[in-house]
Amino acid sequence: MTIARKLQDYIDGAGVAYDTVDHHRTATTSQTARAAHVPGSRLAKSVVVHHEMGYVLAVVPSTHRVELSTLQDVMDRRLGLASEEEVCNLFADCDIGAVPPVGSAYDLPVLLDESLGDVSDVYFEGGDHRTLVHMSGANFRNLMQGAQIARFSHPA
């Protein structure tokens, strides 16, 4: 597998320039950053949360952890982490745990941590545990148009 089909179709349809970075299979985002030789602060990590009305994709740097209570305050909703089964259903063309942060490709709203707001380039999972998508920070922010931006994470 390389890039998940929905993700690739969405990025290509948006006309956004990107490249891919192959690496050996990893299990965590910190391992991925090391394997791909990229700064963890520029590797966007996706966390799927649910609430009574549906799902939201929370996107933070891989070096950070989502503060669920702060995220709940930002959204003014009670939130919980989505189950593995829920994530598999939402991202059927992706491997478990390799969720891309481009929620629009999967009809999911996105909350983007403001710490990713000014990075010069961004890397993120392409849908498997062996491929990262890399693009300029400006292109990433264009893909994130419509995302709510807030501070809801802290360094791990």
DSSP annotation of 74 reads: H
pLDDT of residue 117: 84
The neighbour count for residue 138, using CB atoms within 10 Å, is 11
Q: Are strands 121-125 and 64-66 parallel, antiparallel or unpaired?
A: unpaired
Tens digit of each residue's pLDDT, the chain (156 residues): 589 999 999 999 999 999 999 999 988 888 999 999 999 999 999 999 999 999 999 999 999 999 999 999 999 999 999 999 999 999 999 999 899 999 999 999 999 999 998 899 999 999 999 999 999 999 999 999 999 999 999 998
CA–CA distance, 64 with 73 (Å, rounded to integer): 18
pLDDT of residue 118: 87
